[in-house]
Copies of this chain bind each other. A is one copy, B any other.
Amino acid sequence: MNRKSAPSDPLTRHAVQTLSSTGGRMTTQRRLILAALAASPNHPTAEELYHQVLPKNPALNLSTVYRTLRWLEQEGLINSRHFEGEPHQDRFDPVADEKADHHHFRCRACNRIIEFDAPLLEQVKQIFTRQQGGQVESAALILYGLCADCAAAGSDPTPGH
């Protein structure tokens, strides 16, 4: 009941930093979208974020969400990803600065996305460079399959038909 600013998440704090250096402004919409992004383990789409924030700001517009996401992507604070089997929509993923570039597993049954590290990819990159020359700057790996839960559920349905 005293402090004005709630202890903001790292993503929002990062965003505030870039604002001050570029003459940008921290608006209500941006604050809400940033908070929603930081709180989502789900790699949400623009539409999903929109509906998450809407209750807290019924005037919010979808294009504001898109503009905010594009801004954050340009600032390097989030990444956009596309997963197979979905329509042509993007999902957004805060860049956790500590954790180096991570990769994704997507369950084709429950659509859950699991993040993981793949140190071996460094070797894959090196091998590629050795064979082809040039230089590799980044790698995007997505595994598809069944997560532990769905694999268990699938192999264990009530048997007698």
User: Do A143 and B151 touch across chains, with their CB atoms under 8 A apart?
Assistant: no
A123 within 8 A of B: yes
User: Do B147 and A138 touch across chains, with their CB atoms under 8 A apart?
Assistant: no
Contact A132 B105, CB 8 Å, known A82-B82, A141-B124: yes
Give CA–CA (A131, B149) in the complex, Å.
13
If over half of A's interface residues share one DSSP class (helix, strand or loop), that class is named, otherwise mixed; here it is mixed
Give CA–CA (A83, B144) in the complex, Å.
17
Q: Which residues of B contact A144 (CB under 8 A)?
A: 136-140
Contact A146 B137, CB 8 Å, known A105-B128, A124-B121: yes
Q: Which residues of B contact A120 (CB under 8 A)?
A: 120, 123-124, 127
User: Do B140 and A145 touch across chains, with their CB atoms under 8 A apart?
Assistant: no
Q: Which residues of B contact A3 (CB under 8 A)?
A: none
A148 within 8 A of B: yes
Q: Which residues of B contact A128 (CB under 8 A)?
A: 105, 116, 118, 143
With both chains docked as a complex, state the minimum distance between the C-beta of A76 and any C-beta of chain B, in angstroms.
Answer: 13
